[in-house]
A and B are shown apart, each in its own frame.
Chain A
C-alpha cells in the first residue's frame, strides 16, 4: 500500500534536470510518456539544460485542476503532456443509477460556466430517445437562454484570457456584464448558476414579462459595453504581441485532432451544428457562422468576440418571434404533470407517482444528440433498455477533446505562452473530467 501511495503522488516540487531523473522502472507512466514524445525541435541556440517542470494541478492559470508536465530547454517548451482526472466525479456511472429526470441537476455541474447548454443538450437527447418534442414556446425560451449562456461563457473566456496575458481591467468589466446575466437567470429560472431549468417535454416554468423585459434591458446595453472592452484590447500592442502567432494550428491538424467549436472555427473551418445540424429553432434564425483563418490564439479570441455579437442578434430575434402557448408537451405518461393538478386530479396523481418512482420508460435503443455549446460540440449518447434509468450515458464533452490539442499547440513556444494558449482554448475542467 505504501508504494502505491507514493507513485500516485509523484509530484515535482522543483524543476529537475533530465539527467537526474529516477531510473526507468521507478518513473510514473506520465513522466515516461512525456519522455517518449519525440522532441523533434531544433533550436537556434540550445541551452543544453533539458529539464522537467510540473505545472498544476492547482495553478491559477490552468482554470481549474489541469496538470501539465513540461519538458523545457531553458524557457522553450520541448514537449508537454496534460494530465486529467483531478475533478473526475464519475457522472457517467452516476447516470446509470438515476432516472432521466434526476440526472438533469448533474448536467449543471459539467460545464459550470454555462449550465444551460448542458441542460438543453441532455434533454434534447432524452426527448429524441422518447420521440417527443417540446412545444414551440419552450423551444424558443431554451434557445433564448442558451444564447445568453453562450454570451456569459464567452465573457469568461474573453476576460480570463485577457487577464492571463496581463490586461486585468477587462476581466472585471466582463464579470460585471456576466453578473447581469446571472441576475436574469435568477429572475427567469430561479437560480443564478445551477439552472436545471429544462424538463422532459418542456421547461420548468414559463418566462414572465418581467423576465423578458430584463433580457431586453441587458441586450440593449450589452453591445456598447462590449465595445468598451474591445477598444481596450483590439488596438493593444502588448496583447497582440502575446497572442499573435502563438499556438498556431492548421485547419487539417485541427480537424484531425478533433477540435470543435470556436477553436475549430479559429482555424478557418466553418463547422457549427446550429447551422449544419440544426436543433431547437436555429433553422429559423438569421445568424452568421464566424470563422478566422489564422488559427492562432488571437484568431480564437476574435471568433469568441464576434460570436457574442451574433448571439445578441439571435436573442433579439427570439424575443421578437416568441410565440404564445404552452411550455409543456401534452404527453401525460412522459411529462411531469403540473403540481396544482396533481393535488386535485386522480389521473395526474397516478402519472406523477409513476414518473417520479419508476421514471419515464423510453423504448430500447441508442440515440446520440449533439449541440453546439459555447466550448464546442457537446453530445449525449444514451443507451436505453426500456428501464427508467439509462443503461449507459456517454457525455461527449468538448473541453476534453479540445485539450488534446494542447501538446501540439505548446510545442516550441515559451513557458509564458502557455497562458495565452490555454486562455484561448478555454477549457473547463468540470466538463473535461466529467
Chain B
C-alpha cells in the first residue's frame, strides 16, 4: 500500500473506529470493509476530505458470496483525480435483509449502478429516488446474477409475445 492510500485508510480508521471492519490488500488493490450504517458517512468523507478527495464514483456492484453467513456484498470504487489513487469499499449484508443505504445523495452518478445491483441481486437501496430494474423487464420476478439462478434461465420467466 502506498503512502497516500495508507494515510487515507488511517484517517478512515481514526474517524470511523469500529465501522471500518477490515482492510485487505491484494495485488496493490486496497479494499476497506465498512459497516452498513456507516457507508453514507464514509462516502461523504471520501468525497470531501482535503488531503486526498475521491470525487469520482466509478462503480457500485454486488457480489453473491453464497457460502458466508453474510451472503451479499456491495462494492464501491472511488477514484481520486488529485492523487491518482483508487480505493474500494465493501459492505456485507445478510440474505434476509439485503439493503444498503443509497449513496446517490453524495454521488448522483451511483444512481444507475445501484439500479443495476438491485436488478441483478435484489439488494435494495433505501434513499434511492428511482430504484427500478435497469436491464430486465420490470415485471421479471428473479434476480439473475444470484448464484441460485440457473445459467439456462427459468422457463416461462420471460413471457414472449404471442405468434400471429
Contact = CB atoms under 8 A, between A and B. Distances in A.
A binds B: yes
Interface string A320-348: 00000000000000000000000000000
Given A7-B138, A85-B134, A258 B58 contact: yes
A7 B158 CA distance: 12
Given A1-B159, A404-B109, A383 B135 contact: no
B108 interface: yes
Interface in B100-146: 107-113, 116, 120, 129-130, 132-139, 144-145
Contacts of A8: 137-139, 159
A277 interface: yes
A280 interface: no
A379 B29 contact: no
Contact of A277 (B29, B63, B84, B112): B84
A257 B110 CA distance: 8
Interface in B138-164: 138-139, 144-145, 149, 151, 156, 159-162
A379 B77 contact: yes
Given A97-B151, A255-B81, 17 more contacts: A5-B159, A5-B160, A8-B138, A93-B145, A93-B149, A94-B151, A128-B27, A256-B55, A258-B107, A260-B58, A276-B84, A367-B27, A368-B88, A381-B75, A381-B77, A396-B59, A401-B109
Contacts of A394: 59, 61, 75
B59 A366 contact: no
Interface in A373-423: 377, 379, 381, 383, 391-392, 394, 396, 400-401, 404
Contact of A392 (B64, B159, B160): B64
A29 B145 contact: no
A269 to B, nearest CB: 7
B52 interface: no
Interface string B68-86: 0000000101000100101
Interface residues of B, number: 46
Contacts of A271: 56, 81
B57 interface: yes
A256 B31 contact: no
B75 to A, nearest CB: 7
A92 interface: yes
Contacts of A94: 151
A365 B27 contact: yes
A336 to B, nearest CB: 22
B144 A370 contact: no
18 contacts: A28-B138, A29-B138, A30-B132, A85-B133, A88-B136, A90-B144, A93-B144, A131-B27, A255-B55, A256-B55, A257-B108, A258-B58, A258-B109, A260-B58, A367-B26, A370-B86, A396-B77, A401-B109
